[in-house]
Structure 1
Amino acid sequence: MPNFDFLAQPSLPRPDVTADDAVAIAAARFGLEGRVTELGSQQDRNFLIDTGDDRYVLKLANPVFSADELRAQNAALEALAGSGIRIPAVVRALDGADLVEVEAQGRRLLARVLRYLDGDPLTGVARPTTEQLRTLGALAGTVAAGLSELRHPGLDRTTQWDARVSGEVVDLLLEHVEQPAKRAVVRSAADDALARLEPLRSRLRVQAVHGDVTDDNIVLGEGGPGVIDFGDVADGWLVAELAATVTSALHHVPDDPIDAVLEVVAAFHAQAPLDDADLAALWPLVVLRGAVLVVSGEQQVALDGDNAYADENRAHEWVAFDVARRLDATEVEALIRARLQAGSPAPAPALGRLVALDTTAANLTDLSVLGRDQDSGAWLEAGAEEAVLARVCREAGHAVTRYGEARLTRARVNRTSASATIALAVTLEAPEGVPVLAPFAGELALVGGAWLLRGDGVELWLDGLSRPLTTAAVAAGAEIGTAVRLTAQLSRLTGWRPPAFVTPAFPVERWADVSPDPSALFGLPLAAPQPDPAASLARRDATFAQVQEHYFAEPPLIERGWRHHLLDTRAQSYLDMVNNVTQLGHGHPRLVEAVRDQWARLNTNSRFHYDELSRFTERLAAIAPEGLDTVFLVNSGSEAVDLALRLAQTHTGRRTILAVKEAYHGWTVGADAVTSSLGDNPRALGTRPDWVRLVSSPNIFHGAHRGVDSAPAYLAELDADLAELDAAGTGVAGYIAEPVFGNAGGVMLPDGYLAGVYERVRARGGVCIADEVQVGYGRMGHYFWGSEQQGVVPDVITVAKAMGNGQPLGAVITRREIAESFAAEGSFFSSAGGSPVSAVVGLTVLDIMRDERLQENAAVVGDHLADRLRALGERHPLVGAVHGLGLYLGVELVRDRETLEPATEEAHLVCDRLLAEGVIVQPTGDYKNVLKIKPPLCITQESADRFADALDLVLATL
């Protein structure tokens, strides 16, 4: 029969063979009797036979494989017999044959037996040691070297693991990846890898390869390391042997893979040296190997549902692929080249000056996230770097960029991978032009459009050098040309140009062996200071009370915001999906200018008379629900709630406040008293003061009564509570609730609930307070105030957060008679509440919201995002519900949609993985299982889609 071609026959279910069949075949054909146990295999059937004296493996091949292919495997074993590594020995049948035809379940199969190789596979090692990683690489290299001369007709076959057809295999099997988010990522990563691989194909060496020297197939035992499972032996690319081995190591070290990769590659290279084409092809092949593992695993489980081996492997196969596709291929290649050259280049010469120019610190540009030139989103504009260089040139005569600096100008928004922001090259701008000197002796040549000065132990790449097109030997200090804008990059890699910009995947210090600091070329220190988020966090914890929590266990160091994006000190952007404090978005230039102007004129307290205060309070009264005409200005939502409670108590002369369970209202004594969220205070239900009466939370998703029509049931419970208070002669001062349960994740109240509550409370002379701090002020899109959605007008509204866009600013809006009743307790004063700057902030926020139609944007983008999130619920059982309206949304994660068991751990894991996707989201609710989604109102539909896509992928791979 012809040799196997996977592309012509991509379905390979394992043959139907039972343990009893194996017992009979082993005894009848090989004379082996003993205990039989099935071993894992993707497409064959393998059985361990333990005779008591020895152990063997009976291998029953998939019927699609020819006798030639199986004999080629035996030939590979023979070729490696003297290699110094342990390999299984072939056990001949009773008739002396190394391969016999047998029958199982009515089907003819080819069978053979190998001696079982004792030892433990590396698969079960959580994190291999350096020595184990070197062993893995060395075994793969030794096998590759040992098979290099093997020729056999059975090697001419096309398996799904042949790297030469990786693209075709992905095309064939991709449909088996059920989740569209995973499918799209595999497609994209495979296409990128294939594009990098295409120009290298003709240069890659072909020979016999094992094809699967992986953590599954090496065993570590007393007799030394060994290699098993030669079922994929075929002709293939030499470097693909290494790619398979490297891929198998990745799932062991997902958080920091590069050191493991370097150990494996270096050990392989020592046994089977790699050439330039191999090094360029390696990482694309690793990505493709990972992609093929993913699609093959999904196909095999679909074909062979009881194949536990294939099923269990899927999780770590995805991890390996995911790690591989996130690393930049050029960066990995550079680090591998540096590792393989370690010790071989000559010591770098002393570096002289590159330009005949007097440079000082004043000439340095600042292109980091802290640079003021990047304000107002300038970093996103074309020519942003050139503009900074031009400014510094005007002020200092010329300009020099910094080495190792994370350039904000290189950051991408809505990113799907890390941005290459770290500069390994520096640029000198000198408008009048400068002479360029050779900083060391060497040969100068034009290579690929750039000039390369080759020296002993170091090379210098130059862009922008003007000189006659000649190759020449130059002496140190000799003039080699002139330049107006000169980009220079040192390299320790012979004849290979490192990337000019790299991602923050690896610390800058690691790049010193690839592209060293060029400060000596310019006569001043060019190395940018390197951020240390961990040290910064430790400094924070040393003096800042740690009960003031921060997002994430290992948070990025955020130092800039723009619109609905945040940027860390490595110039990586994050979608800000949680910041309802910043209503307009970050860094709004109109707000910045208004605040700057007011600070320059005046900032004081509200006991002084100035027009900005009255302009602001007039504006607030105008947008408040009808009848609410009087404003108190304070500093925060907690202070606003505290004041609202005192107003209710003072106005009614009573103390008792009704508050709903699950609610959060603030941290002051008064606001905390009516807060019952277990997520914020696990002891909340048992520690409320006697003047607070908690009533049932009308949670339509997991409350005692569910659905939007559950208001009558909740109102009946309230009637019972009120009857109890009436019977005790306890008067009600007021009722406080959010019109939408913000801290529960944007859960809407039952239709008509607040109308029924307000009617009952007012009938008893109580005051109805709507806490709009989180959900009001246009965030719901279709309504400016949350209470509008319930069709009610409160007696008191509290508001903060959004109205100040991050400035401490809050308000209580009420009726005149309620406000004036507070006189019984004296006058009211908030030092910074209503200050000139705060009033200007508040006015400007409202102006921008109106002019940029942000409430309308909240409705349009919010509705679109809610639809996207509900669609995720159709694919991911973990999504129990999508709550909210406009741009106050919540995705509640549950382990069971019937019991509604909260998926707390999963919610935290989702948030951590979203951070890696460039998205900031945090959990909320009593059980911290609801993703709270409340971004700045300026968010675009493109960014909303990016968030939904990222969440889709995270849920698909959880």
Structure 2
Amino acid sequence: MTEQSHFHLPRPRLTLDQAADLARERFNVIGVVTELGSNQDRNFRIYTDAATVVLKVSNPATAAVELEAQNAALAHLGDLGLDLPAAVRAIDGNEIQRITIDGQTLDLRLLTYVDGHPLTDSVRLTAGQVRSLGDVAGRIVRGLSNFEHAGTDRFLQWDLRRGGEVIDALLGQVNDDARREHLRTVTDAARMQLAPLKGDLRVQTIHGDLTDDNVVSRDGDSISGVIDFGDVAQGWLVAELAATCACVLYRSPRHPLAILDTIDAFARQVPLSDAELTALWPLIVLRTAVLVVSGEAQVQLDGDNDYADANRAREWLAFATAADLDGAEVEALIRFMLAGTDAPIMTTDYPLAGPLDPAAIIDLSVTSAGYDAGVWLEPDIDARITADAAAQLGHAVTRYGEYRLSQTRINTAEESVTLALGVEVILPAGSHITAPIVGTVVVVDSDTVRFEAAHFDLWLTGIDAAAIDGQTVEAGTTLGTALGTAFGTALGAAQASSAGARHAARVARVTLQTSRLRGIRPPFFAAPSHAALWQRVCPDPSALLGLETARSLADAGALLQRRDQSFARVQEHYYQAPPQIERGWQHHLIDTHGQAYVDMVNNVTTVGHGHPRIAEAARSQWSLLNTNSRFHYEELVRFTERLAALAPDPLDTVFLVNSGTEAVDLALRLALSYTGQDTVLAVREAYHGWSLAADAVSSSVADNPRALDTRPDWVHLVEAPNAVRGKYQGMQSAPQYLDDLDGDLRDLADAGRTVAAFIAEPVFGNAGGVLLPDGYLAGVYERMRARGALCIADEVQVSYARLGKHFWGTEQQGVVPDIITIAKAMGNGHPLGAVITRRDIAERFSEEGPFFSSAGGSPLSCRIGLTVLDIMRDEGLQQNAEVVGRHLKQGLERLGERFDLIGAVYGMGLYLGVELVSDRAAFTPATGAAARLCDELLLRGCIVQPTGDFKNVLKIKPPLCLSIASADHFLDALADALGAIAPRAAQSPTLSAASSR
């Protein structure tokens, strides 16, 4: 066989039945057979009554002596403290069986099964798994260091000593011209770096593929066993680590520096030589390239190899990630990780920029008032803020270790790179800079110098030190600044703030940054996921300015513990490890690390977070008056007139309260008082609030597991009109639900009970926005009014233009209730609720005495409520909800055609739901998948949560200002997350017929 043919190895042809026959005939093993994935072999797991075993059918290109070497290596490694497979002897006493089947001569082995969860089952690697991979790879290398066998001297396309040959042989299998050329350029550079090192790299027997495919875990965070030794061969010792690091890149492309933990764990088992440290990164790049070309070739050669085909996209992503990183920087980081110092930067008698006022330190954090009203998204905002401050204070200084909001990016699944690793000083033009300690000044470019101190480099921009390039200077030596910047002119009229224009002046902007990566300029900003490493590499330079070290950021986890100590835990929070959210803007939420999330769940904030008109309305009214509604003031009249005008005729009278719960509670009292009757009808599975009365008509077991067993006698539950999951299905199922209601009404009449009210949401909100069957509410309301009962529409979640086409949810059903309850949307997060009804109903209630809500209808609440309505009108938010909601729903339905986890898509406008099911035919709730999907979406920059009695419906009810761009980002993130946890394409049956309308 030629070496060229080693690159083209189709898997053996073998069916499950043939595998079962061979296991029985050769090993006397009988059981249930399933196939496991492999690039070039065939692996079959067999469940027997006694144990689970694996039948391995090797590629014909693998010689028997090589299989013997694998078995011997397994026996040799028995004392590593890892679970490893063991060879099982066949009926004839041999470990390897040669057979001929369908014209193929194949070798079989039977191995014991290593129990545990494959790391491939995890959507992403945990920090513990990343380290454990490196640790296990190091232990295997150490264990094999004295292992020798003739079968390890073999040709493998995964042997990175031949990586260049593999690329040359298989590059033509890449059909895309641009990708092929990029591969060539990147791998040629890696091969050039490796060429002078080859003679200094240690060679021994290695596993060769210590990756997620070949390891398992019992506890979820550390590796307990290694399951495959098919690539055992002679190779470079450091190539073992390169293969493992490439796996980490493949699994964590958004956090590539996670490989540093893998490397550190490996090096604790097997210290690396200087040559190996230099070779490691180009070997990682080469490994990702070999995976890419091999995957392309294997899929073309072996078209039914789903295992190889499914891996291609992530292999390309791993290669692209490796290719984009700066190799010199990565090598420097590796060396620092293994041997770097954490000595702090010492204070000096010669502050670099002279005396600086601590009051001139500018806040550019996520909570900075300078970023209000969304200006953090404007270009050059930091320069404007700091120049304004310098103009007023004489100078300005930014903070080290601050997560800057100006660096936050929206509508992206990528991590925003926000952590400042240096300090900026804004000084009058021509100010002088002083060398803080003894060092050598090296001019890098026209305004950048590197000050080489004993244990670190100090990088300075805005410095003109050409006269002393390459010279050692004493502490206290004066260095010049570059020419100042005309602030008002440089930014341009469009970007310059009024303050900036007013204080336009020539200023010098000097940046300083310390680095322990000698001679390599570090980035000025780092990603939060790599904060600990980069802050070790680039320690705080504040001491060189004569300033105190920057304050450390509060830990979100510690804050959560404090919350649990003082705040009742029954008041739950989203996510097990929630981000600490401290700012919002429009439909975005931003955490303290400057990461932005599209808010897809916050229907309380109707017009968006941080709206300047609401902030100004609150400020203005607070400065005038805030009291209770027993006083006489204009804002209450204006607001109630506005609400009454929006309500459908004949509703004309408004009660103002604090919340949806209080509104529902009051609505029930109004109905009982007006009718004098004794029973309230409520639909199953609904949620209406937490007060005694509102909870009484709530029967959602997701909100109260004992809901169905604890209803008071005055509440009677009727069948939930859920057209998808309910007793009767389809949008034409109203007559059947109404027939059941008629039966309920007869039973109540027979028992001598009279109906006071019927309460329901006009859209089934708690189920995720399920529209009621056509004509359902019309039929119910007709029956109620015939009995003198009132009809209450709980519009707390679904009204206020959220449905897009309709302002009120009842409009979708073509009915007018007797009482409407509203809240949530009214105050944009401010506690505000209302009950709207007829004058006669309100007047009858007065017979029970005056009604009063202490803060309901306060001047502040009314002013905010009016401002919300003004914003909705002025910014066309109802129209936006219709346009963006339609676009979003169509996108969700398209995803339903791709992923069978999506069983139905509900709702309209910007009140939507996505029901997740594990089996479409049985419509089995996928509760676990919903929770997992929400976690995955959080990592991709989207916040959404599950609802419904089974917690399997994604509730999608974002602020009404949601943009098409953000909706598309959510759809992309959802598709990516679905692909990670449920990659199968949709199968019949299709989405529920009642999923859209």
How do 1:503-518 and structure 2 match up within 5 A? 503-508=527-532, 510-518=533-541
Residue matched to 2:494: none
Aligned to 2:242: 243
Deviations 1:353-376 (Å, cap 9, x if unpaired)? 452421122111111111000000
1:589 aligns with 2:612: yes
Contact 2:600 2:944 in 1 (8 A): yes
CA displacement at 1:243 relative to structure 2? 2.0
Counterpart for residue 383 of structure 1: 380
8 Å contact kept, 1:578–1:932: yes
What are the equivalent positions in structure 2 for 1:150-299 lying under 5 Å apart? 162=163, 200-205=190-195, 212-214=208-210, 229=229, 231=231, 241-247=240-246, 260-264=261-265, 266=267, 270-274=271-275, 278=279, 281=282
- Residues 593 and 195 of structure 1: is their aligned pair in 2 closer, same or farther, counting only changes over 3 Å? farther
Look up the SS of the partner of 1:552 in the other structure: coil
| Aligned counterparts, 1:675-686, within 5 A | 675-686=698-709
Question: Which residue of structure 2 lines up, in the alignment, with residue 790 of structure 1?
Answer: 813
CA contact (8 A) 2:160 2:239 kept: no
Amino-acid identity (%): 47
Q: Is this contact kept in 1: 2:628–2:856, CA < 8 A?
A: yes
Deviation per residue, 1:143-166 (Å, 9 max, x gap):
89999xx99996799999948867
1:525 to 509, 533, 548: 548
AA aligned opposite 2:461 = D
Query: Do the aligned partners of residues 194 and 241 (structure 1) sit closer, same or farther apart at CA in structure 2, a change above 3 Å counting?
Result: farther
* Cα pair distance change 1:646/1:231, threshold 3 Å: closer
3-state DSSP of counterpart to 1:434: coil
Task: Provide the residue aligned with 2:335 in structure 1.
Answer: 337
For residues 272-671 of structure 1, what are the structure 2 equivalents within 5 Å?
272-274=273-275, 278=279, 281=282, 303=304, 329=325, 335-342=333-340, 351=348, 353-447=350-444, 450-468=448-466, 470-483=469-482, 484-508=508-532, 510-671=533-694
The amino acid of 1:476's aligned partner reads: A
3-state SS, counterpart of residue 694 of structure 1: strand
More off after superposition, 640-649 vs 465-474: 465-474
Structure 1: give runs of 5+ residues left out of the alignment. 27-32, 49-56, 89-99, 176-186, 220-224
Q: CA, structure 1 residues 695+756, in 2 after alignment: closer, same or farther (shift >3 Å)?
A: same
Q: In structure 1, the residue corresponding to 2:681 is in which secondary structure?
A: strand
CA contact (8 A) 1:559 1:568 kept: yes
Taking the TM superposition and a 5 Å limit, the aligned residue runs for 1:936-955 are: 936-955=959-978
Q: Give the conservation status (yes or no) of the 8 Å contact 2:285–2:319.
A: no
Work out whether residues 163 and 290 of structure 2, in 8 Å CA contact, stay in contact via their aligned partners in 1.
no
Partners of 2:111 and 2:783 in 1: CA distance = 80
CA RMSD of aligned residues (A): 5.0
Q: Deviations over 1:158-186 (max 9, x none)?
A: 999948867997995899xxxxxxxxxxx
Give the aligned residue type for 2:451.
Answer: L
- The answer to whether the 8 A contact 2:140-2:207 is kept is no
> 1:287 touches 1:321 (CA, 8 Å); kept in 2?
no
Q: What is the 5 A alignment of 1:33-48?
A: 42-44=39-41
TM-score, normalised to structure 2, is 0.79
> How far apart, in 2, do the equivalents of 1:172 and 1:352 lie?
64
- Deviation track 1:386-437 (CA, whole Å, cap 9, x = no partner) reads 1221122123211111111111111100121111111111111113342112
CA distance in 1, matches of 2:367, 2:536: 28
Query: Of residues 713, 716, 719 in structure 1, which corresponds to 2:742?
Result: 719
Q: TM-score, normalised by structure 1?
A: 0.82
TM-aligned CA deviation for residue 460 of structure 1? 1.1
Distance in 2 (CA, whole Å) between partners of 1:615 and 1:169 is 75
Q: Distance in 1 between matches of 2:832 and 2:182?
A: 49
In the alignment, which residue of structure 1 is the partner of 2:942? 919
Greater shift after overlay, 611-620 or 364-373? 611-620
Contact 1:745 1:931 in 2 (8 A): yes
1:332-372 deviation digits (Å, cap 9, x = unpaired): 656423123336x9997765545242112211111111100
2:644 counterpart letter in structure 1:
A
For the Cα contact (< 8 Å) 1:36–1:47, is it kept in 2? no
Which residue pairs with 1:184 in the alignment?
none
Secondary structure of 1:486's counterpart equals strand
Q: Which amino acid aligns with 1:246?
A: C
Q: Which amino acid aligns with 1:498?
A: P
1:742-761 aligned at under 5 Å gives the runs 742-761=765-784
| Matched residue SS, 1:336 | helix
Change (3 A) 1:282 1:866: farther
Looking at structure 1, the residues matched to 679 and 623 of structure 2 have their Cα atoms a distance apart, in angstroms, of 46
- Residues 503/776 of structure 1: CA separation in 2 closer, same or farther (3 Å cut): same
**What's the secondary structure of 1:884's corresponding residue?**
strand
**Once the two structures are superposed, what CA deviation does each residue of 1:749-803 show, in whole Å capped at 9, x if it has no partner?**
0000000000000011111111110001100001111100000011111111001
For residue 481 of structure 1, report the CA deviation from its aligned partner.
2.5
Provide, for residues 803-826 of structure 1, a one-character-per-residue CA deviation record: whole Å limited to 9, x for no partner.
110011111111111111111111
CA contact (8 A) 1:139 1:268 kept: no
Give deviations 1:551-604, integer Å, cap 9, x for gaps. 111111100000000001111111100000000010011221122111112211
Deviations 1:867-893 (A, max 9, x none): 111111112221111111110011111
Residue 366 of structure 1 aligns with an amino acid whose one-letter code is D
Deviations 1:654-673 (A, max 9, x none): 23111111111111111111
The separation in 2 between residues aligned to 1:552 and 1:171, in whole angstroms, is 47
C-alpha distance 213-43 of structure 1, shift in aligned 2 (>3 A)? closer
Alpha-carbon shift at residue 616 of structure 1 (Å): 1.1
Aligned to 2:90: none
User: CA distance change for structure 1 residues 659 and 195 in 2, over 3 Å: closer, same or farther?
Assistant: farther
Structure 1 residues 117 and 779, CA, compared in 2 at 3 Å: closer, same or farther?
A: closer
Q: Distance in 1 between matches of 2:780 and 2:44?
A: 71
- Whether the 8 Å contact between 2:435 and 2:474 is mirrored in structure 1 is yes
Deviations 1:883-930 (A, max 9, x none): 111100111111222222211121111111111111111111111111
1:625–1:245 Cα change, 3 Å: same
Q: Offset of 1:531 from its aligned partner? A: 2.4
Deviation at 1:128, TM superposition (A): 7.3
Contact 1:297 / 1:314 at 8 angstroms: preserved in 2?
Answer: no
- Preserved CA contact (<8 Å) 1:634 1:833: yes
Question: CA separation in 1, counterparts of 2:580 and 2:172?
Answer: 41
Question: One-letter code of the match for 2:479?
Answer: I
Deviations 1:163-215 (A, max 9, x none): 8867997995899xxxxxxxxxxx99999999977755532338589682426
Aligned residue pairs, count: 900
Q: Distance in 2 between matches of 1:805 and 1:480?
A: 54
In structure 1, the partner of 2:50 is none
Deviation per CA, 1:277-336: give whole Å up to 9, x if none: 64654665676678789889988996357xxxx69x989997998999699956865642
Give secondary structure in 2 for the equivalent of 1:485.
Answer: strand
Cα distance change of structure 1 residues 143 and 423 upon mapping to structure 2, 3 Å threshold: farther
Quick check: 1:564–1:935 contact (8 Å CA) kept in 2? yes
User: In 2, Cα distance between the equivalents of 1:799 and 1:813?
Assistant: 8
Distance 1:155-1:712 versus aligned 2 partners, 3 A rule: closer
Q: Contact 1:193–1:284 at 8 Å: present in 2 too? A: no
Confirm or deny: 8 A CA contact 2:210 2:240 kept in the other structure: no
